[in-house]
Homo-oligomer: A and B are copies of this chain.
Amino acid sequence: MAKQKKAPRPKAQTPKGFRDYFGPEVTERAEMLNTIAGVYHQYGFDALESSGVETVEALGKFLPDVDRPNEGVFAWQDEDDSWMALRYDLTAPLARVYAQHRNDLPLPYRRYAMGPVWRNEKPGPGRYRQFYQCDADTVGAGSVAADAEICAMLADTLEKVGIPRGDYLIRVNNRKVLNGVLECMGLDDDAQRDAVLRTIDKFDKVGEAGVRELLGKGRLDASGAYIDGVGLSDAQAEPVVAFLTSGRLEAAETLANLRAAIGASTVGEEGVAELEQIAELLAAQGYGPDRIIIDPSVVRGLGYYTGPVFEAELTFEILDEKGRKRQFGSVAGGGRYDDLVKRFTGQAVPATGVSIGVDRLLAALREKGRIGGSVQGPVVVTVMDRDRMADYQAMVAELRQAGLRAEVYLGNPKNFGNQLKYADKRESPVAVIEGGDEKDKGVVQIKDLILGAKLAEDASLEEWKDHPSQYEVPRDQMVAKVQEILDLHK
């Protein structure tokens, strides 16, 4: 608090794109993270918490041609001029941690991590520049058994946090199959390959016919704008369409279709074989196509994936901001990235993992009414006589010793109405009142605020009389009576 006397008052505002989380928003997230950590732990993953700050070179975002490496990250210079930045995900820090501590860590290293990450991006509605991720990764396991395990764990996790079977689907694909398709098309132009990948990513939106158009001459989109196509001939486009439409409920059929789509490509065959193994491993553990399926339309944006990729989607419908029905969509994704640790050590270290978008998953659970129910406010002991604060605090101490959530009103006690308004704002179930008369008689008044609110809403005068919502009990029965009212409303 430096001398601020002459300065104008600071604005009480979060920086653009940041926000505060209150009460249940915080505790519900904490509970969900705790549940997820429990599943990860059971699968043998160990906790890791790396710092929020990394060197820019470790994050790998440094672009030599710009003075300031702020492409997507929040970065600044330390006193010795080295650049530091806030982590933008939990994967880049894991690669750094593994490279730094590899001599002390078990191999394979299964770790989970949860915490905020920061993105220096344009904020938008529902898009914040700080948000939570919750990741699990296995470093040093080249076998696709590791990928299958991550998919199984993801399914277990979703069910454990409250998404029932049938409301989610984990879709698995393999970058190698995609590469095989591109190889078999004879595409050697990088720009054209990228354009094909972007088109594949649009399959869910535009469907088979749309993809055909986009791979060929182009397409008129819904807004009437013309989207240039990739410029392939129909024959050239065919393998992509065959690939995209190879998905079936039965993994065996999907795999046969994929084999046809990749032609003689070696890398493609490797990819299909890996998907086949994953399907077998999951079937052996009882994860059927109602939970995890092979789906060739999954691409995953990140460039660093080298093999299997997966995505968890919530399949139930919600209403979007315009009142239209749509599927809730993706809440988690991941895949195999075998080159991230190599950046540091020069040695390839296979790795695979998943990242759960915690805030989106919370939104989904709230949407379904699975969390966000009533939060129990504290019992409020009101202050009728400010000189007897010690008495009131002793009452609160008694209530707490009985395990109840309770507090004494600490604002200005002069206006009793304000005290009840406060109790209302806190969603207090019960208020305790002890004025001078009660003190003399050795009693307290106990007000059932939940019943009181209900009566105030819709009771006739007779009902009101029949259901008193305030009770006078001897002082030594205060805790028991409060407990009784709380039990009643459970």
Residues of A within 8 A of B (CB): 1-2, 4, 7, 9-16, 18-27, 30, 34, 37, 41-44, 46-55, 57-58, 60-64, 70, 74-76, 78-80, 82, 84, 86, 96-97, 99-101, 106-108, 110, 116, 118, 129-130, 138, 140-143, 145-146, 148-149, 152, 156, 277, 280-281, 283-286, 303-304, 339-340, 343-346, 378, 380, 386, 389-391, 393-394, 397, 400, 403-408, 410-412, 422, 425-426
Q: Is the CB of A146 within 8 A of B410?
A: yes
Question: A15 contacts which chain B residues (CB < 8 A)?
Answer: 51, 53-55, 78, 82, 84
Q: B12 near A99 (CB under 8 angstroms)?
A: yes
Does the CB pair B281–A390 fall under 8 Å? yes
Number of chain copies forming the complex: 2
Asked if B145 and A344 make an inter-chain contact with CB atoms under 8 angstroms apart, the answer reads no
- A107 contact set on B, CB distance < 8 A: 411, 422
Q: Tell me whether A393 and B148 are in contact (CB under 8 A).
A: yes
Residue of B nearest to A344 (CB): B12
Residues of B within 8 A of A118 (CB): 52-53
The answer on a CB contact under 8 Å between B410 and A138 is: yes
Instruction: Say which residue of B277, B345, B393, B405 sits within 8 Å of A149 (CB atoms).
Output: B393
Complex CA gap A403/B110 in Å reads 19
Contact B18 A47 (CB under 8 A): no
Q: What's the minimum C-beta distance from A403 to chain B, rounded to whole angstroms?
A: 8
Give every chain B residue within 8 A of A75 (Cβ-Cβ). Answer: 76
With contact pairs A12-B345, A14-B100, A84-B15 given, residues A149 and B54 touching in the complex (Cβ less than 8 Å): no
Judge whether B411 and A97 touch: CB under 8 Å: no
A152 CB, nearest partner CB in chain B, Å: 7
Distance between A198 CB and nearest chain B CB, rounded to angstroms: 18
**Contact status B54-A14, CB under 8 Å:** yes
* B-side contacts of A64, CB under 8 Å: 7
A107-B422, A143-B389, A393-B145 known; A407-B281 Cβ under 8 A: no
Q: In whole angstroms, what is the CA distance A381 to B65 when docked?
A: 50
Interface CB pairs A-B, < 8 A, 6: A11-B55, A53-B74, A70-B79, A86-B86, A106-B422, A145-B410
Most B Cβ at <10 Å: residue of A55, A79, A138, A141? A55
> Min CB distance, A354 to chain B, in Å?
15
Determine whether the beta carbon of B100 is less than 8 Å from that of A149: no
Contact, CB under 8 Å: A53 / B18: yes
A489-B277 Cα distance, complex, nearest whole Å: 37
Known contacts A11-B55, A42-B400, A145-B408; A48/B60 CB under 8 A:
no
Q: Are A410 and B141 in contact (CB under 8 A)?
A: yes
A390 — which chain B residues lie within 8 A by C-beta? Answer: 280-281, 283-285
Query: Out of B42, B49, B303, which one reaches A405, CB within 8 Å?
Result: B42
Residues of B within 8 A of A58 (CB): 10-13
The 8 lowest CB-CB distance pairs between A and B, nearest first, are A44-B407, A12-B99, A284-B390, A76-B76, A26-B47, A141-B410, A44-B378, A18-B51
Docked Cα-Cα span, A10 to B96, in Å, equals 9
A292 to B: closest C-beta gap in Å: 13
In the complex, residue of chain B having the shortest beta-carbon distance to the beta carbon of A18: B51
